Structure formats: structure tokens, C-alpha cells
Amino acid sequence: VSGPHIPTRLAVAVDLVDVRPGQRILEIGGGRGVAAWLVCSALEGGRLIGIDRSPRAVGAATRLNQVYVDKGLAEFREAALEQLDPDELGTFDTIFAINVNVFWTRPAAHEIGLVVRLLRPGGRLLLMYSPPAGSDHTRLAARISPRLEDAGLRSTMRVEPADADVVLCFEATRS
Ligand SMILES: C[S@@+](CC[C@H](N)C(=O)[O-])C[C@H]1O[C@@H](n2cnc3c(N)ncnc32)[C@H](O)[C@@H]1O
């Protein structure tokens, strides 16, 4: 099946998502839906919900993933993270975001609290960034890790691939 052009950072990020059959996955700020497309091509019988506050992004993601939307595997909604209703959405096995800056540009306690409520116990949160070459990862870590910790999530940081910082990933599991 021919698909979209896949930037390396998105291929690396979706590898870290580690999609398994039957999972419920939430992507925050998915933009045009390329990572969602990669997730859906590996997802059997589960569900991906992609939210983005930009109507243009939601339109583009829906078009790109129309085959998966038609199968009932994917759904894209125009929504800001801070407006999500966990009672309506239910819980997810994995929640991920790629290059969404809300988690480090402001305290984001409300947003991170919502994410925790949206994770099932044992569910994984992955906040991923493609850092500028040569950037100091400890600066981002100093902002993100304590915010996750304040919400009761202990996170680990890693770079992938280990020898080329394509993706900087903060991963936390809900206890
Ligand atoms: C830099 S783009 C990244 C898009 C895509 N994840 C990627 O890596 O190519 C950030 C996206 O997050 C969305 N976004 C930013 N803050 C958001 C929020 N609070 N709630 C929902 N979407 C948000 C923007 O509309 C935009 O589409």
C-alpha cells in the first residue's frame, strides 16, 4: 500500500509507541496525521483517537487516514487537550504526543492531570520531541520530568537512536 512520506523522526517515534493489537491509543497534537497513519497500519482491532486544536490539521489527518476512519479504527477530533473529558473518552493503553510544546512551555498541571485520568492503570505516556542538533536535553528534562512527577508519574528520558538524537522521549507509566 502506498502511503505518505514518513519523516525519520515520526518513524522513530512510532517505533517507541510499540503498537499492539487491540490497543486504545490517544495522540495529542497529531498535526497532519502521519504518525497516526503509521500507528493505524500496525493496529489490528484497536482504536486510535487523534486530537488537535487546529481544524486544518484535523481535516488533513482525516483525509490521510480515511481508510482507517472508514474501518472504525481511527477518529480525529478538533479539540484542545485542556478541553478533553475523560468521562466521555474512557481510558487508553498509550497516550503520545510528538513535538507538542504545551508540556514544557507552561506549568500544564491541568493538562497533565487530564492525561493521567485518561491512562488506564499500567498505561504508558510518551512525550516525544525532535531536539535541535546539539541542544542540551537536560534543560527540557528539567522542565518536563518534575511536572510529570508532580502528577504522580515517574518518567525516564531516552534518546533514539542512541547514537543520533532524532527523538528525545519522556516515558511514564501510570501505576
Ligand atoms: C509542531 S506540531 C506537531 C505535529 C505532529 N505531531 C508532528 O510531529 O509532525 C504541534 C501540533 O500540536 C497541536 N497542538 C498544540 N497545542 C495543542 C493543544 N493544547 N491541544 C491540542 N493540540 C495542540 C497544533 O495544532 C499542531 O498541530
DSSP characters over 107-142 = --HHHHHHHHHHEEEEEEEEEEE-PPTT--HHHHHH
* CA 163-30-131 angle, 5° bins: 30
Identify the residues whose C-beta falls under 6 Å from ligand 1.
28-31, 51-54, 57, 80-82, 98-100, 102
Q: What is the pLDDT of residue 97?
A: 98
What integer is the mean pLDDT of 143-151?
Answer: 95
Q: Cα(31) to centroid of ligand 1, in Å?
A: 6
Q: What is the pLDDT of residue 23?
A: 98
Positive or negative, the CA dihedral 16, 61, 42, 22 is positive
Contact predicate 38/6, CB 8 Å: yes
89 contacts: CB under 8 Å, gap ≥ 6? 26, 49, 118
For residue 64, pLDDT over 70 is answered with yes
Cα(126)–Cα(142) distance, integer angstroms = 16
* Atom of ligand 1 at shortest range from CA of 13: 8
Q: What is the pLDDT of residue 53?
A: 98
Q: Which residue minimizes the CA distance to atom 23 of ligand 1?
A: 29
* Atom of ligand 1 at shortest range from CA of 30: 6
Q: What is the pLDDT of residue 51?
A: 98
Q: What is the pLDDT of residue 163?
A: 85
Other C-beta atoms lying within 10 Å of the C-beta of residue 168? 19
For ligand 1, mutation pick of 49, 52, 62 (most atoms within 8 Å of CB): 52
Cα(155)–Cα(148) distance, integer angstroms = 7
pTM: 0.97
What integer is the mean pLDDT of 67-94?
Answer: 97
Report the largest interatomic distance among the alpha carbons of the chain, rounded to a whole angstrom. Answer: 44
Q: Cα(17) to centroid of ligand 1, in Å?
A: 17
Q: What is the pLDDT of residue 8?
A: 96
Q: Cα(172) to centroid of ligand 1, in Å?
A: 20
For residue 1, pLDDT over 70 is answered with no
28: β partners: 51, 97
* Atom of ligand 1 at shortest range from CA of 7: 9
Identify the DSSP state of 38. Answer: H
Cα(80)–Cα(156) distance, integer angstroms = 26
- The CA dihedral of 161, 40, 123, 118, to the nearest 10 degrees, is 120
